[in-house]
Amino acid sequence: MNKVLLHCRPGFEKECAAEIQDLAAELEVFGFPRVINNSGFVIFEGYGPEDGRILMEQLSFNQLVFARSWFMVLAELKDMDTEDRISAVMEHSELLPKAGMLWVESGEGDEYRSLLSFCRKFTVPLRQAMRSSGVLTKKEHDKMPRIHLFLTDSGNGYLGYSRSDNGSPFYMGIERLKFPSDAPSRSTLKLDEAFSVFLTKEEQEERAHSGMKAVDLGACPGGWTYQLVRRGMFVEAIDNGEMAPSLMETGQVKHYSVDGFKHEPIHTNNRWLICDMVEKPDRVASLMARWFINGWCHDAIFNLKLPMKQRYTMVSDCLNQLSSALRHAGVRHEIKAKHLYHDREEITVYVHRRK
Ligand SMILES: C[S@@+](CC[C@H](N)C(=O)[O-])C[C@H]1O[C@@H](n2cnc3c(N)ncnc32)[C@H](O)[C@@H]1O
């Protein structure tokens, strides 16, 4: 019970490891991460026998920026008999809590393609075995613990579980979103994913609904604006580039060819600020602080582009800088940040002004 496994984007294992080690240390959980570059996962091993459990209970999954999903490891499966992997897994079934779902997972990316296809096939008989033994409910329940079997190859892996109230609700932490064929750019999926990761359904209904006003800094060709228009909002789109004509035809968008760093909002009652300008992250963080301090928006979603090196340090510094600027100005707020599935060399941040 001293280990947790964290999924991350392949190539970001070091950031994921540094982050869990820091956050664990804040809870006085000390240990070390095991990192294999480009594997898409990290194991954090605590020195105390119950450290995995302590982390799952006391550390909020939402605090983790670089982890897409996580679970507590209960057993390490080594050199499973490839003729009978079911028995190798079920040997440990008494360790598992009664669960509502089973996820057989692996890393993400081309290297894992055939292993992931095996994971999907293997899920069917393993689920059957777990249902017969009573570990798994007969029907899926999304409010119960989830069993994770993470395979590193066809004979080795980790078995454990996550809590439904403190983990990602998605298989491998990835929400599969459909690209809308009429959207002007693929980056539209990034904002769609951000809404769904950062806001509950109820919060989306309350905070991002029809009739609201929004500003999009660095808007062209309009993939992010598209998501706001789709939600019935009216958007000031700021960019020197060209906006997609289909968006302009909706009558919900006004385009201004000006510098996003100098622009001041035309309307005073903007609910949203979104920003996807490719700029230095500390500059973007300062700009976001300025909008909140001036009372120009209530909610913001923006990207922080990551540097080549020191990515975790930069993220921590920018988020601290933003939070402390808002605190000093007396702006009550909540900040969430995630390296989303649709993010590459950037993270996405959500800031909400508290009443
Ligand atoms: C990654 S693209 C935005 C894509 C857009 N979110 C979408 O989904 O279609 C970045 C945009 O930021 C714009 N940009 C960069 N610096 C800017 C600035 N200082 N002021 C306004 N726009 C800027 C660029 O012209 C570019 O169109």
Candidate of 217, 220, 247 to mutate for ligand 1, largest count of ligand atoms within 8 Å of Cβ: 220
Residue 181 domain flag: no
Query: In the listed set 127, 148, 173, which residue is the last one of a domain according to the structure?
Result: 173
- Write out pLDDT tens, residues 250-298: 999 999 999 999 999 998 899 999 999 999 999 999 999 999 999 999 9
What local confidence, expressed as pLDDT, does residue 327 receive? 98
Could you tell me the distance, in angstroms and rounded to a whole number, from the CA of residue 55 to the centre of ligand 1? 39
Residue 33 domain flag: yes
Pairing assessment for the beta strands 234-238 and 253-256 based on DSSP bridges: parallel
Catalytic residue among 98, 139, 305, 309: 305
- Write out pLDDT tens, residues 138-160: 999 999 999 999 999 999 999 99
Judgement on whether residues 209 and 84 belong to the same structural domain of the protein: no
Ligand 1 atom at minimal distance to the Cα of residue 221: 9
Does the Cβ of 241 fall within 6 Å of ligand 1? yes
Residue 182 domain flag: no
Judgement on whether residues 310 and 200 belong to the same structural domain of the protein: yes
Lowest-pLDDT range of 22-31, 55-64, 247-256, 301-310: 301-310
- Write out pLDDT tens, residues 315-334: 999 999 999 999 999 999 99
Does the Cβ of 5 fall within 6 Å of ligand 1? no
Could you tell me the distance, in angstroms and rounded to a whole number, from the CA of residue 29 to the centre of ligand 1? 42
Q: Which of 211, 209, 207 is nearest to 199 (CA)?
A: 207
Query: In the listed set 173, 202, 230, which residue is the last one of a domain according to the structure?
Result: 173
Judgement on whether residues 289 and 318 belong to the same structural domain of the protein: yes
Annotated binding site for S-adenosyl-L-methionine: 187, 220-223, 239, 259, 276
> What CA–CA distance (Å, rounded) separates 243 from 101?
44
Contact 4, 34 (CB under 8 A): no
Candidate of 258, 278, 345 to mutate for ligand 1, largest count of ligand atoms within 8 Å of Cβ: 278
CATH value at residue 102: 3.30.2300.20
For 243, 254, 255, 256, 331, the CA distances from 225, given in Å and listed in that order, are 9, 11, 11, 13, 26
Omega prior to 281 cis, within 30 of 0 = no
Judgement on whether residues 49 and 142 belong to the same structural domain of the protein: yes
What local confidence, expressed as pLDDT, does residue 179 receive? 96
Residue 99 domain flag: yes
Judgement on whether residues 237 and 329 belong to the same structural domain of the protein: yes
Query: In the listed set 173, 197, 217, which residue is the last one of a domain according to the structure?
Result: 173
Judgement on whether residues 13 and 80 belong to the same structural domain of the protein: yes
Helices 13-26 & 51-58 angle (0-180, nearest 10): 90
Range of the domain at 29: 3-173
Judgement on whether residues 232 and 195 belong to the same structural domain of the protein: yes
Contact 192, 224 (CB under 8 A): no
What local confidence, expressed as pLDDT, does residue 268 receive? 83
Residue count (the chain)? 355
Greater model confidence, 82 or 149: 149
With a CB cutoff of 8 Å and minimum separation 6, the contacts of 23 are 59, 63, 64
Stretch 132-141: mean pLDDT: 97
What local confidence, expressed as pLDDT, does residue 173 receive? 96
Judgement on whether residues 117 and 193 belong to the same structural domain of the protein: no
What local confidence, expressed as pLDDT, does residue 110 receive? 87
Could you tell me the distance, in angstroms and rounded to a whole number, from the CA of residue 173 to the centre of ligand 1? 28
> What CA–CA distance (Å, rounded) separates 147 from 141?
12
What local confidence, expressed as pLDDT, does residue 267 receive? 86
Does the Cβ of 256 fall within 6 Å of ligand 1? no
Residue 180 domain flag: no
What local confidence, expressed as pLDDT, does residue 355 receive? 87
Instruction: Spell out a b/e string for 80-96, using b for 16 or more CB atoms within 10 Å of the CB, else e.
Output: beeeebbebbbeebeeb
> What CA–CA distance (Å, rounded) separates 12 from 284?
22
Q: Is the pLDDT of residue 308 over 90?
A: no
CATH value at residue 218: 3.40.50.150
Q: Whose CA is nearest to atom 15 of ligand 1?
A: 277
Residue 318 domain flag: yes
Does the Cβ of 21 fall within 6 Å of ligand 1? no
Could you tell me the distance, in angstroms and rounded to a whole number, from the CA of residue 95 to the centre of ligand 1? 51
Does the Cβ of 238 fall within 6 Å of ligand 1? yes
For 67, 123, 325, the CA distances from 288, given in Å and listed in that order, are 24, 45, 10
Does the Cβ of 278 fall within 6 Å of ligand 1? yes
Average pLDDT, the chain: 97
Q: Is the pLDDT of residue 79 over 90?
A: yes
> What CA–CA distance (Å, rounded) separates 287 from 304?
12
Whether 305 sits among the annotated catalytic residues: the reply is yes
Does the Cβ of 262 fall within 6 Å of ligand 1? no
With a CB cutoff of 8 Å and minimum separation 6, the contacts of 322 are 285, 288, 289, 335, 349, 351
**Domains in the chain: how many in total?**
2
Residue 183 domain flag: no
Judgement on whether residues 250 and 318 belong to the same structural domain of the protein: yes
Q: Is the pLDDT of residue 189 over 90?
A: yes
Judgement on whether residues 160 and 238 belong to the same structural domain of the protein: no
What local confidence, expressed as pLDDT, does residue 307 receive? 85
Judgement on whether residues 29 and 83 belong to the same structural domain of the protein: yes
- Write out pLDDT tens, residues 214-235: 999 999 999 999 999 999 999 9
Judgement on whether residues 164 and 208 belong to the same structural domain of the protein: no
- The pTM of this model reads 0.95
Could you tell me the distance, in angstroms and rounded to a whole number, from the CA of residue 343 to the centre of ligand 1? 16
Q: Is the pLDDT of residue 1 over 90?
A: no
Contacts 24+ apart (CB under 8 A), 254-263: 255/219, 260/217, 260/218, 260/287, 261/287, 263/215, 263/217, 263/238
Residue 178 domain flag: no
Ligand 1 atom at minimal distance to the Cα of residue 184: 9
